[in-house]
Amino acid sequence: MNIILSKLKEVFFSVLPITILVILLNFTISPIETSLIIKFLIGTVFVVVGLTIFLLGVDIGITPLGDLTGISLAKTNKIWIVLVAGLILGFFISIAEPGLMVLASQVNLVTNGNISSNSILMVVSIGLALMLSVGFLRIFYNVPLYKVLMILYLIVLGIAIFSSSEFLGIAFDSSGSTTGILAVPFILSLSTGISKLKKDSKASEKDSFGLVAIASTGAIISVLLLGIFKNNEKFASGLEFGSVSKTSIFESYINIIIAHLKESFFAILPVLIILLILQKISFNLKKREFRKLLTGFTFAFIGLFIFLLGVNAGFMDVGISIGNTLALKDNKIYIIGIGFIMGVVTILAEPAVYVLTHQIEDVTSGYVNRKAVLFPLAVGVGLAVALSTVRILVSEVQLWYYLLPGYLICICLMFITPKLFVGIAFDAGGVATGPMTATFILSFIQGAANAFEGADVLVDGFGMIAMVALMPILTLEILGIIFLIISNKRSEENKDE
């Protein structure tokens, strides 16, 4: 019971700031239809309950599966088995990631089905699975993380030159969306097992970070390649906002129940099949332990279904509505300011960010205070969302104007940032892009892009998640350099004494 209450509290306080902000906007500068605000409030309850049950299922069933799989793979002592297992597990875990499912459905909606949600799910999952295997090889052969990341991001920037602008935002958004509340704990639990295969039998501290960062580049590369493949195709884009709001509150939820039941079932089914196969050939768990894992999978399925139902039946529609309304106002400072506030409150309420900041404080023995990390992170993410709105308002500003210099600076900083901080920084990009970013703020940006004259919702409506993922990398690399300066200064003072 304590675990359930803890998860409920965690999710509730991550959703609460957005809910309060929506209510305040409704009574001030962005009035919302009564039926739509009711759907939003119902959807919010569904999102809180769904995420709570889903996270409980991840803790009880899916993360332990990752732990058991990692241990079993280590026992085989064969790297090729580990790589094949990484490919299979990485693929199916990515497909079941809620953030990626939401993004894929938004791409499908915005392109009127020309880029289907299934194609995004498949391409991203293949890319993540391949790079997960690359990450395993890096740990096994002790290749420095900064070298691997430098090569991968130079490849990303090189491919991006030849990809269409429509796919640039989708590609980088896919990276942030796929490393979410399901994939990250599972990948980390797998990495614990793979580190035991190392010939020195002792995983270094640096190897506890960076695997998520390497895996996420696979999503970017695969979608950019898809963009090159579809380069000659023209996509009609637009959001038909209002079609959902015109239906009754009851109909909004009933109409999509069957679709999301199937979606949730087929997302969890492959991972469940993997559990059944491994139980037969490797795990041999006792009935009680096996039943506990099955219970976890049941919770994950139910939670995912309720979450998707809440998100798609009203929660995201309000984001689109607010974006539409603010984009049409004469004073554009409103939309930039609200975007900044959304970024700040979202990151401050993100539970994974608190875990990350405590982790940094522990690793640096208190030299880098968690509050000193949290404040610049919040401001950075707020700026990321605000800059995404600027792209909508100023057509000349393109996404690569931000991403190209941003990632080049990140690559250059890797050479002077303490190597431990490099892994933490790149992993933190996935931490910042939580469920609220991938759902509500994404729909807010797309609503604004859809309403503002001269903006293209397919080009300008994506890329916000990419911006949010970039800011923590820059922030933490700079903090790593500050930590290095402070620690060197203290070492000199101790020598003098």
Residue 152 has pLDDT above 90, yes or no: yes
Distance CA 460, CA 447 (A): 10
Lookup: tokens for 62: 């899916």
Residue appearing with tokens 């994939």: 183
Alpha helices, DSSP H only, in 414-455?
Answer: 419-432, 435-436, 442-451
pLDDT at residue 205 in the model: 47
Contact 389, 445 (CB under 8 A): yes
Residue appearing with tokens 């991938």: 438
Query: Can you give the C-alpha Rg of the chain in angstroms?
Result: 22
* DSSP character string of 364-412: TTTSS-HHHHHHHHHHHHHHHHHHHHHHHH-TT--HHHHHHHHHHHHHH
Beta strands in 28-157 (DSSP E): none
Residue 329 pLDDT grade (very low, low, confident, very high; cuts 50, 70, 90): confident
Question: Which whole-number Å values give the CA distances from 80 to 73, 85, 86, 239, in the listed order?
Answer: 10, 9, 10, 46
Contact 285, 293 (CB under 8 A): yes
pLDDT (tens digit per residue) in 53-83 = 998 998 898 888 888 887 787 777 777 887 8
Residue 384 has pLDDT above 60, yes or no: yes
Average pLDDT, the chain: 83
Residue 292 has pLDDT above 90, yes or no: yes
Closest CA to 475 of 385, 388, 395, 384: 384
pLDDT at residue 249 in the model: 62
**Distance between alpha carbon 28 and the CA centroid of its chain, in Å?**
31
Question: Which whole-number Å values give the CA distances from 222 to 6, 163, 168, 182, 227, in the listed order?
Answer: 37, 11, 11, 20, 9
Instruction: Enter the pTM of the model.
Output: 0.84
Lookup: tokens for 282: 């490797």
Grouping H, G, I as helix, E, B as strand and the rest as coil, residue 96 is coil
pLDDT at residue 155 in the model: 94
pLDDT at residue 105 in the model: 87
Q: Which residues lie closer than 8 Å to 316 by C-beta, 6 or more apart?
A: 102, 439, 440, 442, 443
* DSSP character string of 270-293: HHHHHHHHHIIIII---HHHHHHH
Grouping H, G, I as helix, E, B as strand and the rest as coil, residue 182 is coil
Percent of the chain's residues with pLDDT above 90: 24
Q: Among 61-65, 165-169, 208-212, name the one with the lowest average pLDDT.
A: 208-212
pLDDT at residue 250 in the model: 62
Hey, CA dihedral for 307, 308, 313, 315, is it positive or negative? positive
Residue 203 pLDDT grade (very low, low, confident, very high; cuts 50, 70, 90): very low
Residue 224 has pLDDT above 80, yes or no: yes
More confident position, 46 or 197: 46
Contact 409, 375 (CB under 8 A): no
Residue appearing with tokens 């309850």: 45
